[in-house]
Chain A
Amino acid sequence: MAKNPETRSQVRGWLLFLLLVPLLVLYVPLYNTIEPTLFGFPFFYWFQLAWIVASMIITAVVYYGTEPRRE
C-alpha cells in the first residue's frame, strides 16, 4: 500500500469514511416513509436501492483514491 506516512494517513481517512457512511442506514426512521415517491416506488424502497448505487460509486472512488499507481 502507500509508502510514506502522509499518504498512509490519507488512506486511513478514506477507509474510515467508507466504513462510516453506510452506517447512516442504521437510522431507519430516516427512510421509513412513502413520500416522496419515484416512478411509483415509495421512498422506503427507492432510497435503499439508490443507496446501493451510491455505495458502488463511493467504493469505486475510494478504490481509485487508495490504489497504488501501477508501474
Chain B
Amino acid sequence: MPLNVTALTVFVLFFALVTYVGFAAARWKRGNLDHLHEWGLAGGKFGTLITWFLLGGDLYTAYTFIAVPALAFGAGALAFFAVPYTIVIYPFVFVVFPRLWSVARARGYITAADFIRGRYGDRWLALAVALTGILATLPYVALQLVGLEVVIAAMGVQLAGALVYLPLIIAFAILAAFDYFSGLRAPAAIAIIKDIMIYITVFAAIIVIPLELGGWGNVFAAVPKDKLLLADNFGSYTGYATLFLGSAMALFLYPHSVTGVLSSSSRHVIRRNAALLPAYSFLLGLIALLGYMALAVGVGKMPAYATSFKAFGANFAVPALFLQVFPSWFAGFAFASIGIGALVPAAIMSIAAANLFSRNIYREFVNPHCDPKQESQMAKTMSLVVKVGALLFIIFLPNEYAIQMQLLGGIWIIHTFPAVIFGLYTRWLDSKALLAGWAVGMISGTWMAASIGFRPIFPLTIFGTTVPAYIAIYSVILNFAVAVVLTLVFNLSARSRADETLPGDYAVEGGAGH
C-alpha cells in the first residue's frame, strides 16, 4: 500500500486529541488517585450516559470491529452469532448484576475475586477467580494490538527492520502513560469520543455503500449461497446456539466488564444500561454486514490489496472496504475510530487485570499490611506490565497464538460463573467444591480445545449421537456438576460456611461507606 498522507494526518490528529483528553481526565470527577477505588474504579461515580459509553467502548472492541466482519467475509452467517449473543446477555445483566453492584458497594469490593473472598471466606477460590480473570484478559489486550496493526498498515505505514513495530509501540506508550496517571477516568473520557466516531463511521458505511451497490439486496446477493444461512442440520444449530449462549455467559465475567459495572454510581444505572446497551449490538450487527459489503465491492480480488490480504487475511476486509469506498480523509477518520477503539478496551482491561493483581494477589498473599497508596501504586505498575506483556506477545509470537489464547480465554472465564453468579443468590455451594469444579472445567475445556486444533465447537458424542457445541458450555456443565456433587459430599461432614455478606447487602441502593 502506498502511504496515504491524508488519512494518516486525520488519524494522527485524532490520536493527539484523545491523548490530551486522556491526561486531562485525571482531574475529572476529582478524587484521590492514590486509592485503588479511585484509580481503578473512578470512585464509582459514573452515571447512566458515561457508563453507556464506557461499557460500549469496553465490550465492543477494535478487534471485534475487525474480526466479526472478517468472519462474515470468510464464513458468512456464522458471524451473526454476535447478535443473539447480546440479545441473551442484557436481560441477564438487568436481573443479576445490580446484586453484584450492591454487595460490592456495601462491602467495598472492587473485583469479582473480592466478592468471592468475602462471600465464601476462601482466599484460594478468590485466587482462582483472580488468576482466571488475569489469564483471560491478557490475550484480549494483545488482540487489540492486532486491530491497531491492521489499520496502521492500511494507511500504508510500512517501516522496515527493527522499526516495524514502532507505531504500535508509540500508541501503547501513550496509552500506558495516561492510564498510569488518570486510571479508569482516561478510557471513560476517551470512550465518549471513540463511540461517537464509530457510530458516524458505521452509519456512513451502511447508508453510502448499499446506495452505491444498488440496495441491500445486492449486498446479500454477493454472499455465496451456502454461507448466507447456517447449514440446515442439527449440528450447525447446536453449534450456533451454544456459541452465542456460552459467549453471553462469559461476557460479563471478564474483569473489564466487572470494572465497568462497578464504576457506575448506582444499581439503577446498570438496569438502565441493560436496556440501552443493545444499541451497540445493533451497531455490531451492521458492522458484521460490512464483511458482506466487502464481498459485494469485491476488494478481495483487487490487485491493490492483494499483499495486505496476504499479510492479514480476512481481517483486512474492512480496511480495504473503507479505502475503496470512502475519500481518504474519511477513511482516516474511520481508521482513527478503530485505532482509538483499540485503546479504550486495552486500557480498561489492563486496569481491571491490575486491580485483580493488586487487590487479590499482592494484598492477599504478598503484603497484607500494605497501605492504600502502596496498593494503588502496585496496580499502576501492573497496568504497565500487562501492556508491555501484550506488546511483547504480538511482537515475538505469531498473531495466531493471541487468537487461540483469546478463544481459550472465553472458555476459561466461564468457569468463574458458578462461584460468582450462583454466589450472588446462594451460599449453598461449598467453596472447596467450587474450586474442584473450576479445576475440572479449566482442564477439560483446555483439553477439548487443544484436541481439535483450537476451534470453539467440540463434537461430543453422547449415547451414539454427536452433538457439536461450544466447549465453554460443555466444560461449565461439568464444572457445575462437580461443584454440586462435592457440595453434597462435603455436607455430610461439618463444613465452613464463612460469609461476611448479609442478605440486605445485595439490594443496597448506594451512598453507604464508599
Contacts and interface: CB of A to CB of B under 8 A. Distances in A.
B90 A55 contact: yes
A45 B285 CA distance: 8
A51 B241 CA distance: 15
A29 B237 contact: yes
Contact of B88 (A22, A37, A58, A60): A22
B84 A63 contact: no
Nearest to B289: A45
A58 B282 CA distance: 15
Contacts of B279: 56
Contact of A40 (B88, B219, B245, B271): B219
Contact of B237 (A23, A32, A40, A67): A32
Given A18-B95, A19-B92, A32-B232, A63 B272 contact: yes
B229 interface: yes
B92 to A, nearest CB: 7
B80 A18 contact: no
B91 A19 contact: yes
Contacts of A34: 228-229
B278 A56 contact: yes
Nearest to A1: B507
A62 B87 contact: no
B281 interface: yes
Contacts of B355: none
B276 A51 contact: no
Contact of A55 (B87, B218, B237, B507): B87
B275 A60 contact: yes
A67 B245 contact: no
Interface residues of A, number: 35
Given A28-B230, A48-B285, A52-B86, A18 B245 contact: no
Interface string B137-179: 0000000000000000000000000000000000000000000
Interface in B87-133: 87-88, 90-92, 94-95
B83 interface: yes
**What is the interface of chain B mostly: helix, strand, loop, or mixed?**
helix
B216 A39 contact: yes
**What is the interface of chain A mostly: helix, strand, loop, or mixed?**
helix
A48 B79 CA distance: 12
Interface in B58-95: 77, 80, 83-84, 86-88, 90-92, 94-95
Interface in A46-67: 48-49, 51-53, 55-56, 58-60, 62-63, 67
Nearest to B284: A52
Interface residues of B, number: 42
A44 B274 CA distance: 24
Contact of B94 (A23, A33, A51, A62): A62
A52 B285 contact: yes
A59 B277 CA distance: 11
Contacts of A53: 278, 282
A32 B91 contact: no
Contacts of A39: 215-216
B281 A52 contact: yes
Contacts of B232: 29, 32
Interface string A26-44: 1111001110010111101
A49 B237 contact: no
A39 B219 CA distance: 11
A56 to B, nearest CB: 5
A63 B278 contact: no
Contact of A25 (B88, B216, B220, B289): B88
Contacts of B241: 25-28
Contacts of B432: none
With most chain A CB atoms within 10 A of its CB, the pick from B77, B210, B220, B275 is B275
Contact of A63 (B86, B275, B286): B275
Interface in B451-505: none
Nearest to B83: A48
A47 to B, nearest CB: 10
B398 interface: no
Interface in B169-221: 210, 215-220
Given A52-B281, A59-B90, 16 more contacts: A19-B92, A21-B91, A22-B87, A22-B88, A25-B241, A33-B229, A40-B215, A40-B219, A44-B229, A45-B220, A45-B289, A52-B278, A55-B91, A56-B279, A59-B91, A59-B94
When A and B form their complex, which 8 residue pairs have the shortest distance between CB atoms, in order from nearest? Answer: A40-B216, A40-B217, A59-B275, A28-B237, A25-B84, A48-B83, A18-B91, A60-B275
30 contacts: A15-B94, A18-B95, A22-B87, A25-B84, A25-B88, A25-B244, A26-B241, A26-B245, A28-B237, A32-B77, A32-B230, A33-B229, A40-B215, A40-B216, A40-B220, A48-B80, A48-B285, A49-B83, A49-B286, A52-B83, A52-B87, A52-B282, A52-B285, A53-B278, A55-B87, A55-B278, A56-B275, A59-B274, A59-B275, A63-B275
